[in-house]
Amino acid sequence: MTAPKLALTEGDLSSITADAVVVGTLQGPDGLALAPGAEAVDAAFDGTLVETLRTLGASGKDGELVKVPTFGKLATPVVLAAGLGKEAGEEQVRRASGVAARALGGKKKAVTTLASVHLGAAVEGTLLGAYGFTEYKSDKGDGPVAKVDLHAPVSKEARATVKASTAIAESVIIARDFINTPPNDLYPGSFADRAAKLATDAGLDVEVLDEKQLRKKGYGGILGVGGGSARQPRLVRIAYKGAKATKKVALIGKGITFDTGGISIKPAAGMDEMSSDMSGAAAIVATMVLAAKLKYPLEIIATVPMAENMPSGDAYRPGDVLTMYGGKTVEVLNTDAEGRLILADAIVRAGEDNPDYLIETSTLTGAQVVSLGKRTAGVMGSDSFRDRVAALGRAVGESAWAMPLPEELRADLDSRLADLANVTGHRWGGMLAAGIFLREFIADGVEWAHIDVAGPAYHSGGAYGYTAKGGTGVPVRTIAAVLADIAANG
């Protein structure tokens, strides 16, 4: 899908020719109010725009969109009033811009005054709201609006904001495209090839290990999980080093391209959504492309394990003991707890690079959805870094909540045969137990965070804000914010 072209403009709104002009509305203390930036549009209506919108039932609530014909008062035929809710904050602008962009599908040009409220959020919301995945449809539909003028003061800083926010949105779209690609086309080999091409085109160093190399190097977790599929596993390593890099960051993402549950097979209902079980890997690959674009003064190395979890005569079984990369042994009690096994191998390999920080993300546990719902990620890890990641995620509009790693759950991962088991054997604290399992493989002295996005990575309902049905690209923007914060503050 082609994305809208964006351009800054500070021209007279009354004379800008477009198919629509977007303004923001608020739920003010005295009722409906216009957001900043809409003054010229209101003046064209002789100060009656609010009254007109009220007549049409507008309230300014989040997600609302009301259309008003201009009757020649402006060079645009219609005003789109996008509700911000009770405040014109960054996330509110992002959501309202997404709603407006979706409504503008098929149009040639629009101009948005939301850019004057928060420029970066308007850019991200517009590009992400316009997103659609039509690769497999015969009828591609109207497509997104072709061009959007961002009505805001033009300056060097503004241009830099547009460039950076566009890069972030484009990386989210890369992740969404990966997630939305069906598993007959996106499997470990093809995923690795696509990731390698993206990274190479971005000027990054890439290494791809196939099943023979994985076996030679002892990646028992990845081989165990991927052994049941005719499509054998891969491990992708992508490296970036910015100028004057002062910190090293390891990034890891779970790349299960389809998850049947293996021998511990899942119920049929909803299994089609398990094509999104590689959302963590998609986010990490996309973030590496973003790092190359934004040129963070960091060294960043991604380690991305990819496998398909299938039942067959070659599949690993409950009761098997796997020897992980690095030598630890794990008793498999449930083959549907496969993500932590491939991640353990990747975490140990990443630790050999001696990073200062390690960020891992995965659609790891159904327990995350039970605990926090479909839109809030659970963040575990080193206390201070965990809190930092969760706070930065919330700041960019990707809801995240810090979760503990209770020590009493560690004993429940003890195995009668191996160093540890891959599940506790009970349902209590499943998200936390998975975090504790991963902690067993973290190198000493590394500040780390695990972001469980089992719910937030995939949206199965109707579109809202800047989020379409399907892959969301969460947590690309969170990780980008964390990298920027590390670059600025260490």
Catalytic positions, please? 266, 340
Residue 467 to residue 99: CA distance in whole angstroms: 9
Helix or strand or coil: residue 127?
helix
Task: Give 68's strand partners.
Answer: 79
Spatial distance between the Cα atoms of 337 and 364, rounded to a whole number of angstroms: 8
The mean pLDDT value of the chain amounts to 97
Domains and CATH numbers, the chain: 5-130 (3.40.220.10), 170-489 (3.40.630.10)
What's residue 2's pLDDT?
A: 84
Average pLDDT over residues 88-113: 98
Q: Please give the helix or strand (H or E) that residue 40 lies within, else none.
A: helix 39-44
DSSP state of 464: B
**pTM assigned to the model:** 0.97
For 244-269, the pLDDT digits (tens) are: 999 999 999 999 999 999 999 999 99
Distances, alpha carbon 478 to alpha carbons 89, 313, 360, 382, 396, in Å? 17, 40, 12, 17, 7
Q: And the tokens for 431?
A: 């998200």
Sign of CA dihedral 114, 117, 120, 125: negative
Q: What element of type H or E holds 24?
A: strand 20-28
Tens of pLDDT, residues 395-448: 999 999 999 999 999 999 999 999 999 999 899 999 999 999 999 999 999 999
d(CA 239, CA 242) in angstroms, rounded, equals: 10
What is the average pLDDT across 164-187? 98
At position 266, the amino acid (one-letter code) is: K
Tokens 């809030």 correspond to what residue?
376
Spatial distance between the Cα atoms of 101 and 124, rounded to a whole number of angstroms: 11
Residue 1, pLDDT score:
65
- The whole-angstrom separation of Cα 323 and Cα 335 is 15
Average pLDDT over residues 96-121: 98
What span, in angstroms and rounded, lies between the C-alpha atoms of 268 and 66?
A: 41
